[in-house]
Amino acid sequence: MKTRGYVVLTLKFQKQGKRWTAYCDELGTATFGRSLPEADQRIKEAVLLHISTLEDVGERERFFKEHNIQLHLKKPSKDITVCVPVNRDMFVEPLIQALPELTAA
């Protein structure tokens, strides 16, 4: 898959009862899972779907500008260190998301 760029997003996970909630700060996308790995997988799928939908409707550039989401042409360094357990029931981690090239329909 060819990429047209990358964005760095902040994912937050919090345990609420028996479930984990997951939230992307920059996009406002949220989901949950029965476990932390399930919530992690679901939020990453939701983020990609959100970005793809913005692209499909021609709103990605405007949305990114309004929400101060920077598009990187090269993959940012993995040395981004925001992955911190705030406590045993809350975690914050960065996500470097590739933006796929558009394909002609």
pLDDT of residue 30: 97
Q: List all residues 6 or more positions away from 26 whose beta carbon is below 8 Å from its beta carbon.
A: 7, 9, 10, 67, 68, 69
| pLDDT score at 75 | 84
Domains and CATH numbers, the chain: 3-100 (3.30.160.250)
pLDDT at 105: 46
How far from the centroid of its chain's Cα atoms is residue 67's Cα?
Answer: 13
Q: Which stretches of the chain are assigned E, i.e. beta strand? A: 3-16, 19-24, 29-33, 84-87, 90-100
Alpha carbon 50 to chain centroid distance?
9
pLDDT digits (tens, 9 = 90+) for 71-80: 888 888 765 5
- Tens digit of each residue's pLDDT (9 = 90 or more) over 14-71: 999 999 999 999 999 999 999 999 999 999 999 999 999 999 999 999 999 999 999 8
What integer pLDDT is reported at residue 92 of this predicted model? 82
Q: Reply yes or no on whether the pLDDT at 102 is more than 60.
A: no
pLDDT at 104 over 60: no
Evaluate whether 42 touches 34 at the Cβ level (below 8 Å): no
Spatial separation of the C-alpha atoms in residues 21 and 32, rounded to whole Å: 4
How far CA 15 is from CA of 25, 61, 79, 104, in Å, comes to 17, 33, 26, 41
